[in-house]
């Protein structure tokens, strides 16, 4: 029967007019994973063919060797394609006021040419996402995030003189991270890039288009805790930017890398990832997975003095009534076996939380982790914490009960990240 | 400068009730009304030289007994006697009308015996079921987040009331609760006139036809109201609806409420998430611990508070409240009282309904879905000057009618559509009261956009938000905030846009005031 139905389906006469319209609207399933503007270059370097889905884009877990890719970040210069990151252009006379209402931090304190890390919440004070906010001019911003938020942002714009547009596909992005990152940019001819302090941004000429008048926005930001930069260009200029950096970086050890390496670097830097270290409020199905900023280490962003912002009332209420149930902490665990997704215990018996990311840190020479704990553990009760690690040893688990200590994040601090002027190598 | 504990925005009946109850609790209360008189859409206004009429609401059928009692309205001039109850007359083109006497048809005349028996059964059932919903449609809706002992107890009482119905009746209550009115009527009645009247009453003031799902709820809402202690009763207040307002205002002023008319509020001043006062159009600022907004919820948040002071999710919810009115109001100044065919003198003093059958009401509704008015509109008509000659010059007559369906957004635009709609209405009149057209001295037709402009009711919707299942109880005005308090601390809602809804009941105002007192606001 099924065969017959299929045959009928294929025999059906073509209906060109509808078909054409449909075909154009159906690219999303014809190409299940989109390529980024850098895809031709990345594909050419992809020896492991180890892909994952980043917001609908085909992104590499690794390209050639995840260990060496990690060390490219720490010892050389690593090039990571961040084009799939969701990007919104926020522009208008009320752009500052709008973002101040949407996000937690005080945007009036963010000067033009600066970037800050921020987060935003729903009415109940639960974190919708975290991301970076770039102030490109007094009235123009770029908001970068993990997830898509256009309906939320547009509804938030009611009553503000502001336009919000998604520019994820139109703008290509690269992270260039590592001790030789500055030297690569310098050699690539980005004059003046040495003036960028951490969280600064500026536009630089890039001759990618035939007129030679396009620009690249470079910020001294990154997700590695290392010296590094992020570069944004119109997607049409993506490949020429890639080539320019690769050519300049050849003698500086520049390497394209995948996410696994970056994920290690970010853990050492103590940075969290949405839907990995916490579940964003629009994704959480279970009510107890929702997190307020204070529960994922983002309480420092909350500015109760700046005026109204989404979630203010709920956050204030939770703080006043001491209704914050969780805390996100850095852990140092004895031994060297990574405790990924291990359960955290109090006195080896009482379950008090879960590790969301863990690794042996080659830089810190410590076994580190990020964990979510149920208060008061991790908050006022930090002693006698243990993690149970299941280490697979030739088809048998070796169960290890290891002592865990709450330690501050970041796990590593690299002077070169903030040094001015940046080191040249 | 005088200082106040509470400022009430909007001097409609709910605002006045709220103010009076707050003042009685010892608070100093100021009412700010934008128009030159209080009363909102429940005023008595002149519409032609020598002619006065109840502006929008023209029948009193749900003024809440607690409002009457708390405000001692009878001592302030409100007078409702059983003898004042007026009948409802279902007019018919093909023969004599059918008359529901007393409180919603205690006695039915003009129908055959079997229909009278059927009506007796249905009426008893409707009132029984409306009686179960009555506490829900009066008190503050249950707070799903955290119920107090008192709330749990009152919910328990309702459960008990349900249980008392007996198994069969309880099952039937639950079966019919969300039905459409037409199907229920078809189950139990045969007379199209009677069914037409009930279908009209169920859908009056909402964007529903009798065959729209849940349309029966509208009938329950109506029957949950009472007048003079009798469910379903209705009166035409002497002096028009403005007289009821005068009594409420007198009670409020007796309690110490200050009233300022012609004083539009420009915005509610919010500081650090708390409403701390109001700024007037004149620039004057008045500070108070508690701000009560007895105007439309959307106007309150979008225009007075501003979306910047509230969370996006809440803005979404408020923006999604459906409030496009579908009812027009017609006022006719007539040279002499009209004669509706087959209706006796007592009938003319009652409520005359043109809704010959559920199908007719449904057909009248259909075009409104697509932005057109009913070619054969349905309506309820009163002739208030017959009982109260002060409303019209000697020998002349006032006609007041609520006419459906007149969609807020008319595709051709109301400037072109209004004369056409008036013509359609007059054609109906001519059928039922031949010769009436020639006696019209002046006609005033208020379409939803007119009502919106004149009474500051967005969408021209007298409930300040469609009164349908998804916008009732815990979801009125929006889910999560049905308890009269709002995300803005110190700001409370008290209009018909809040639970239970519209009609001259005073219940939202009363509930809001009680909530404020309970919260020590």
Q: HEC profile for B426-447?
A: HHHHHHHCCCHHHHEEEEEEEC
Show Cβ contacts of residue B447 under 8 Å, excluding neighbours closer than 6 positions: B328, B406, B410, B414, B417, B418, B421, B460
Q: How far is CA A251 from CA A77, A188, A232, A254, A371, in A?
A: 10, 12, 23, 8, 39
A130, β-bridge pairs: A119
Chain B residues with CB under 8 Å of A321 CB are none
Q: Evaluate if residue B374 carries a pLDDT over 60.
A: yes
Q: What global pTM score does this model have?
A: 0.92
Determine the Cα–Cα distance for residues B234 and B450; give it in Å rounded to an integer. Answer: 27
Say whether A310 and B312 touch across the interface (CB within 8 A).
Answer: yes
pLDDT, residue B154, reads 74
pLDDT of residue B121: 97
For CA atoms A339, A342, A344, A348, give the dihedral sign: negative
Which CATH superfamily is A287-407 part of? Aminomethyltransferase beta-barrel domains (2.40.30.110)
Distance between CA atoms of B31 and B38, rounded to whole angstroms? 9
Strand partners, A140: A91, A137
Among the partner residues A101, A152, A311, nearest to B308 by beta-carbon distance:
A101
Q: Residue A197: what pLDDT? A: 98
In sequence order, what are the beta bridge partners of B425?
none
Q: Tally the domains of chain B.
A: 1
Q: Which residue has the tokens 């001015």?
A: A420
Inter-chain residue contact B308 with A102, CB threshold 8 Å: no
Contacting residues of B for A316, CB less than 8 Å apart: 273
Q: Which residue of A has its CA nearest to B305?
A: A159
Tokens 């629009």: give the residue: A282
- Which of B272, B319, B489 is the closest to A158 by Cβ? B319
Looking at the partner chain, which of B273, B306, B307 has a beta carbon nearest the beta carbon of A312?
B273
The CA distance from B199 to B118, in Å, is 16
Q: Retrieve residue B28's tokens.
A: 């100093």
Nearest Cα residue in chain A from B304: A159
| Spatial separation of the C-alpha atoms in residues B209 and B259, rounded to whole Å | 40
List the single residue in B272, B316, B487 with the smallest CB-CB distance to A155: B316
Chain A hits for B315, Cβ within 8 Å: 155-156, 158-159
B264 touches chain A (CB under 8 A): no
Spatial separation of the C-alpha atoms in residues A256 and A47, rounded to whole Å: 11
Judge: B302–A159 Cβ closer than 8 Å, yes or no.
Answer: yes
Q: What is the pLDDT of residue A4?
A: 43
**A230 annotated as ligand-binding:** yes
Substitution target from A129, A159, A315 for chain B, most B beta carbons within 10 A = A159
Q: Where are the alpha helices (DSSP H) in B137-293?
A: 149-164, 167-176, 181-188, 192-203, 216-223, 241-254
d(CA B310, CA A156): 10
Summarize the confidence of residues B365-376 as an average pLDDT.
98
Instruction: Using the predicted structure, report yes or no on whether residue B474 has a pLDDT greater than 50.
Output: yes
Chain A CB within 8 Å of residue B314 CB: yes
Is the CB of B309 less than 8 angstroms away from the CB of A308? yes
Nearest to B500 by CA among B476, B468, B470, B520: B476
Contacts of residue B460, defined as CB under 8 A and 6 or more positions apart, other chains included, come to B324, B325, B408, B446, B447, B448, B449, B450, B451, B452
CB-based contacts of B99: which residues, under 8 Å, 6+ apart?
B87, B88, B89, B90, B108, B109, B110, B347, B350
B403 touches B327 (CB < 8 A) = yes
The structure tokens listed for A41 are 């270059």
- Could B306 and A159 be called an inter-chain contact, meaning their C-beta atoms sit closer than 8 Å? yes
Q: Which domain holds residue B256?
A: 4-43+62-79+239-321+465-518
- Residue A217: in which H helix or E strand, if any? strand A214-219
Mean pLDDT for chain B?
95
Beta strand residue intervals within A122-199, DSSP E? 127-137, 140-145, 163-166, 171-177
Tell me which residues of chain B, numbers 294 to 313, contact chain A at a CB-CB cutoff of 8 Å.
Answer: 302, 306-313
Query: What count of CB pairs under 8 Å joins A to B?
Result: 49
- Here the ipTM equals 0.89
Closest-CA distance of chain B to residue A362, Å: 44
Q: In this structure, are strands B351-354 and B88-90 parallel, antiparallel, or unpaired?
A: parallel
A308:B273 CB<8 A: yes
pLDDT at A214: 82
Contacts of B287 (CB under 8 A, 6+ apart): B3, B269, B276, B277
Q: Identify which of B308, B311, B312 has the shortest CB distance to residue A97.
A: B308
Residue B101 lies in a domain: no
Cβ B245 vs Cβ B38: under 8 Å: yes
Q: How far is A373 from chain B (nearest CA, A)?
A: 26
Domain assignment present for B259:
yes
DSSP A279: -
Residue-range domain boundaries for chain A: 86-166, 287-407
- Please answer yes or no on whether B311 and A155 come within 8 Å at the CB atom: no
Query: Is residue B258 domain-resident?
Result: yes
Q: How far apart are CA B462 and CA B492, in angstroms?
A: 20
Question: Which token pair is B416?
Answer: 């072109």
Q: Is residue B329 part of a domain?
A: no
> Do residue A123 and residue B314 have CB atoms under 8 angstroms apart?
yes
B55 by DSSP, 3-state: which?
coil
Neighbours of B49 (CB within 10 A): 9
**Residue A182 near residue A226 (C-beta atoms within 8 A):** no
**Is B298 contained in some domain?**
yes
A155 contacts B319? CB cut-off 8 A: yes
Out of A123, A160, A304, name the one closest to residue B313 (CB): A123
For residue B90, being part of any structural domain is answered with no
Mutation site, B146, B274, B300, B308, interface A, largest A CB count within 10 A: B308
Sign for the pseudo-dihedral over CA of B416, B421, B424, B426: negative
- The reply to whether residue A156 touches residue B312, judged by beta carbons under 8 angstroms, is yes
| Residues of chain B contacting residue A102, judged by C-beta atoms under 8 Å apart | 312
Contact B311, A104 (CB under 8 A): no
Crossing angle (nearest 10°) for helices B192-203 and B358-365: 40
Q: What is d(CA A147, CA B341) in angstroms, rounded to the nearest whole number? A: 68
CB-based contacts of B87: which residues, under 8 Å, 6+ apart? B99, B100, B101, B102, B346, B347, B350, B351
In a domain, residue B180? The reply is: no
Residue with tokens 């002096």, as numbered in its chain: B239
Taking chain A (425 residues) in runs of 10, the rounded mean pLDDT of each run is 43 56 71 92 97 95 97 98 98 98 98 98 98 98 96 97 97 98 97 97 81 85 98 96 97 98 98 97 94 98 96 97 97 96 97 98 98 97 96 93 97 97 88
Q: Mutation target for B interface from A97, A107, A313: give the one with most B CBs within 10 A.
A: A313
Interface test with A, best of B311, B478, B490 (most A CBs within 10 A): B311
Across the strands, what pairs with B226? B231
Contacts of residue B235, Cβ cutoff 8 Å, sequence gap at least 6: B59, B60, B61, B80, B84, B85, B86, B227, B228
Its sign, for the CA torsion A30, A34, A37, A38, is negative
Q: What is the DSSP-derived secondary structure letter of residue B302?
A: I
Provide DSSP, A42-89. HHHH-SS-EEEEETTEEEEEESS-HHHHHHHHHHSEEEEE-TTSEEEE
Nearest to A123 among B272, B311, B319 (CB): B311
Cβ-Cβ contacts under 8 Å, A122 against chain B: 311-313
**Chain-centroid distance, C-alpha A168:** 14
CB A230 within 8 Å of CB A173: yes
- Closest-CA distance, B466 to chain A, in angstroms, reads 22
Distance from CA of A153 to the nearest CA of B (A): 9
Token pair for A23 = 């075909």
| Residues of chain A neighbouring B271 (CB-CB closer than 8 A) | none
B458: closest CA of chain A, how far (Å): 18
Contacts B314 to A, Cβ<8 Å: 123
Q: Is the peptide bond before B477 cis (omega within 30 degrees of 0)?
A: yes
B276 vs A: CB within 8 A:
no
Are B317 and B56 spatial neighbours (Cβ–Cβ below 8 Å)?
no
- Residues of chain A with a CB closer than 8 angstroms to some CB in chain B: 97, 101-102, 122-124, 152, 155-156, 158-160, 304, 307-308, 310-313, 316
Q: Report the CATH number that the domain containing residue B486 is assigned in CATH.
A: 3.50.50.60
Phi, psi of B451 (to 5 degrees): -65, -40
* Burial of residue A5, with CB atoms counted within 10 A of its CB: 0-12 exposed, 13-18 middle, 19 or more buried: exposed
- Calculate the alpha carbon distances from A76 to A70, A180, A246, A359, B219 in Å: 10, 5, 13, 21, 77
| Predicted pLDDT at B79 | 87
Question: What class is the A86-166 domain?
Answer: alpha beta
Q: What is the pLDDT of residue A7?
A: 41
> Does pLDDT of B268 surpass 60?
yes
Residue A8 structure tokens: 């009928």
Report the distance separating Cα B409 and Cα B412, nearest Å. Answer: 9
Q: Look at A102 and B312 and tell me if their CB atoms are within 8 Å.
A: yes
Q: What pLDDT band is residue B135 in, cutting at 50, 70 and 90?
A: confident
In-domain check, residue B432: no
- Distances, alpha carbon A237 to alpha carbons A113, A183, A189, A190, in Å: 22, 22, 16, 15
């Amino acid at each position: 029967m099924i065969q017959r139905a299929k045959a009928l389906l294929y025999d059906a006469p073509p209906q060109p007019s509808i078909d054409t319209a449909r075909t154009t609207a159906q690219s999303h399933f014809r190409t299940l994973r989109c390529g980024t503007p850098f895809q031709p270059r990345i594909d050419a370097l992809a020896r492991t063919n180890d892909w994952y889905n980043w917001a609908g884009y085909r992104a590499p877990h690794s390209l050639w060797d995840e260990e060496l890719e990690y060390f490219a970040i720490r010892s050389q210069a690593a090039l990571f394609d961040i084009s799939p990151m969701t990007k919104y252009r926020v522009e208008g006379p009320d752009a500052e006021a709008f973002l101040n209402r949407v996000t937690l931090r005080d945007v009036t304190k963010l000067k033009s040419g600066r970037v800050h890390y921020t987060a935003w919440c729903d009415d109940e004070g639960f974190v919708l996402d975290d991301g970076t906010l770039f102030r490109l001019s007094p009235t123009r911003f770029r908001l970068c995030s993990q997830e898509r938020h256009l309906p939320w942002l547009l509804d938030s714009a009611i009553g503000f003189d502001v336009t919000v547009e998604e520019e994820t596909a139109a703008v290509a992005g690269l992270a260039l991270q590592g001790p030789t990152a500055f030297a690569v940019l310098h050699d690539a001819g980005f004059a003046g890039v040495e003036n960028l302090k951490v969280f600064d941004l500026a536009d630089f000429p890039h001759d990618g288009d035939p007129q030679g008048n396009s620009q690249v926005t470079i910020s001294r930001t990154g997700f590695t805790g290392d010296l590094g930069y992020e570069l944004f260009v119109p997607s049409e200029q993506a490949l020429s930017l890639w080539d320019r950096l690769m050519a300049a970086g050849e003698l500086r050890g520049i390497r394209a890398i995948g996410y696994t390496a970056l994920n290690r670097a970010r853990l050492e830097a103590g940075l969290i990832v949405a839907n990995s270290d916490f579940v964003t409020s629009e994704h959480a199905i279970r009510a107890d997975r929702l997190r307020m900023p204070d529960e994922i280490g983002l309480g420092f962003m909350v500015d109760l003095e700046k005026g109204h912002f989404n979630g203010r009332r709920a956050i204030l209420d939770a703080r006043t009534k001491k209704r914050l149930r969780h805390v996100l902490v850095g852990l140092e665990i004895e031994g060297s076996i990574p405790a990924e997704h291990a359960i955290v215990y109090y006195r080896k018996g009482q379950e008090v939380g879960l590790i969301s990311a863990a690794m042996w840190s080659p830089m810190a020479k410590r076994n580190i982790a990020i964990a979510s704990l149920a208060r008061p553990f991790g908050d006022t009760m930090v002693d006698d914490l243990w993690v149970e690690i299941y280490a697979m040893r030739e088809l048998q688990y070796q169960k290890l009960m290891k002592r865990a200590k709450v330690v501050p994040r970041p796990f590593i601090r690299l002077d070169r990240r903030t040094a001015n002027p940046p080191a040249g190598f | 400068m005088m200082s106040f504990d509470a400022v009430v925005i909007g001097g409609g009946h709910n605002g006045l009730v709220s103010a009076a109850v707050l003042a009685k609790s010892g608070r100093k209360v100021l009412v700010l009304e934008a128009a030159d008189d209080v009363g909102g859409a429940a005023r008595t206004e002149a519409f032609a030289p020598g002619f006065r009429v109840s502006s929008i609401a023209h029948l009193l059928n749900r003024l809440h007994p607690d409002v009457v009692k708390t405000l001692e309205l009878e001592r302030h001039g409100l007078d409702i006697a059983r003898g004042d109850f007026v009948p409802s007359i279902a007019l018919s083109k093909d023969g004599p009308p059918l008359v529901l006497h007393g409180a919603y048809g205690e006695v039915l005349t003009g129908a055959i015996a079997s229909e009278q028996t059927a009506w007796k059964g249905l009426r008893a059932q409707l009132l029984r079921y409306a009686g179960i919903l009555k506490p829900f449609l009066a008190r503050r809706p249950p707070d799903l987040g955290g119920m107090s002992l008192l709330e749990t107890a009152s919910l328990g009482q309702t459960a008990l009331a349900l249980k008392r119905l007996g198994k069969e009746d309880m099952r039937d209550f639950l079966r019919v609760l969300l039905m459409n009115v037409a199907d229920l009527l078809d189950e139990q009645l045969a007379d199209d006139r009677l069914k037409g009247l009930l279908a009209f009453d169920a859908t009056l003031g909402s964007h529903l036809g009798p065959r729209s799902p849940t349309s029966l709820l509208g009938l329950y809402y109506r029957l949950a109201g009472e007048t003079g202690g009798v469910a379903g009763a209705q009166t035409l207040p002497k002096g028009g609806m403005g007289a009821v307002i005068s009594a409420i205002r007198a009670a409020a002023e007796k309690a110490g409420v200050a009233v300022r008319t012609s004083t539009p509020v420009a915005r509610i001043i919010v500081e650090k998430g708390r409403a701390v006062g109001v700024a007037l159009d004149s620039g004057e600022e008045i500070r108070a611990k508690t701000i009560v907004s007895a105007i439309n919820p959307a106007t309150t948040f979008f225009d007075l508070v501003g979306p910047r002071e509230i969370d996006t999710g809440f803005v979404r919810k408020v923006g999604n409240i459906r409030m496009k009115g579908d009812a027009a109001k017609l006022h006719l100044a007539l040279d002499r009282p009209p004669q509706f065919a087959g209706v006796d003198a007592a009938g003319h003093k009652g409520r005359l309904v043109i809704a010959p059958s559920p199908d007719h009401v449904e057909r009248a509704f259909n075009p409104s879905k697509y932005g057109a008015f009913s070619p054969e509109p349905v309506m309820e008509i009163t002739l208030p000057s017959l009982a109260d000659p002060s409303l019209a010059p000697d020998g002349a007559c006032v006609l007041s009618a609520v006419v459906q369906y007149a969609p807020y957004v008319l595709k051709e635009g109301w400037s072109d559509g209004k004369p056409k709609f008036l013509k359609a209405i007059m054609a109906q009149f001519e059928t039922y009261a031949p010769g009436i057209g020639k006696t019209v001295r002046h006609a005033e037709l208020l379409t939803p956009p007119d009502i919106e402009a004149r009474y500051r009711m967005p969408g021209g919707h007298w409930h300040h938000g469609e009164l349908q299942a998804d916008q009732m109880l815990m979801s009125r005005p929006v889910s999560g905030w049905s308890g009269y308090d709002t995300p803005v601390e110190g700001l409370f809602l008290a209009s018909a846009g809040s639970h239970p809804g519209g009609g001259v009941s005073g219940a939202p105002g009363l509930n809001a005031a009680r909530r404020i007192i309970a919260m020590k606001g």
